[in-house]
């Protein structure tokens, strides 16, 4: 069942945020992803603040009082560069989409994504953006299967201490 955010599930949401960060650490071959002790509470607080300040929503997939997945979306804020370079259509951003590891592929992520898409449409958004960590091929494939395409791509190059290119 997909429900709107309820603070009674905060601790379970924090657990999912930590699970996602651990997943990103595991797939990061550059070993730049970290998990500080304060991550669990601070990332949750940052996400909640964005939701409150940027017309956002949180939806949960809950079964028997257990959170199986969460999606957090906010409306993008446009800066001066945006105003100079694009049409500035109202755009939603998914800042978190996490499904418990042992049930990924069950359709919960798709249901959560559809729910946030409905919300963004209802408030007049014309687009949705989702940032995906480059090594997260499973995540990228999931979004592509759901109609999302790469638009803005960041390319990176790792340098060693001497400034030489270092490939892993």
Q: State the total domains in the chain.
A: 1
* The predicted structure's pLDDT at residue 163: 55
In a domain, 124, yes or no: yes
Q: Specify the pairing of strand 127-130 against strand 66-75.
A: unpaired
In a domain, 152, yes or no: no
CATH number for the domain spanning 33: value is 3.40.630.30
pTM, rounded to two decimals: 0.91
Place of tokens 């270092």: 166
Query: What is the sign of the dihedral through the CA atoms of 41, 96, 71 and 73?
Result: positive
Nearest of 12, 4, 35 to residue 118 by alpha carbon: 4
In a domain, 101, yes or no: yes
In a domain, 164, yes or no: no
Q: In the chain, where does DSSP find H-type helix?
A: 10-27, 39-53, 80-85, 108-122, 137-145
In a domain, 73, yes or no: yes
Range of the domain at 120: 2-145
pLDDT (tens place) for every residue of the chain, 168 residues total = 999 999 999 999 999 999 999 999 999 999 999 999 999 999 999 999 999 999 999 999 999 999 999 999 999 988 788 777 878 789 999 999 999 999 999 999 999 999 999 999 999 999 999 999 999 999 999 999 999 999 989 999 988 766 555 555
Q: Helices 39-53 and 10-27 meet at what angle, rounded to 10?
A: 110
In a domain, 87, yes or no: yes
- Terminal CA-to-CA distance of the chain, rounded, Å? 43
* The predicted structure's pLDDT at residue 168: 54
In a domain, 158, yes or no: no
Q: What is the DSSP letter of 76?
A: P
* The predicted structure's pLDDT at residue 162: 60
In a domain, 156, yes or no: no
* The predicted structure's pLDDT at residue 92: 97
């Amino acid at each position: 069942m997909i429900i709107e955010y309820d603070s009674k599930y905060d601790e379970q949401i924090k657990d999912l945020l930590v699970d996602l960060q651990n997943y990103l650490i595991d797939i990061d071959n550059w070993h730049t992803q970290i998990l500080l002790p304060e991550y669990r509470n601070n990332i949750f607080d940052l996400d909640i603040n964005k939701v409150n300040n940027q017309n956002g929503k949180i939806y949960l997939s809950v079964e028997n009082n257990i959170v199986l997945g969460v999606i957090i979306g906010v409306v993008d804020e446009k800066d001066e560069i945006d105003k100079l370079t694009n049409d500035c259509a109202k755009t939603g951003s998914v800042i978190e989409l996490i499904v418990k590891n042992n049930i990924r592929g069950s359709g919960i992520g798709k249901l959560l994504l559809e729910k946030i898409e409905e919300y963004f449409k209802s408030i007049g958004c014309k687009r949705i953006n989702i940032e995906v960590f480059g090594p997260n091929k499973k995540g990228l494939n999931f979004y592509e299967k759901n109609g999302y395409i790469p638009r803005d791509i960041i390319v990176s190059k790792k340098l060693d201490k001497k400034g030489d290119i270092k490939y892993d």
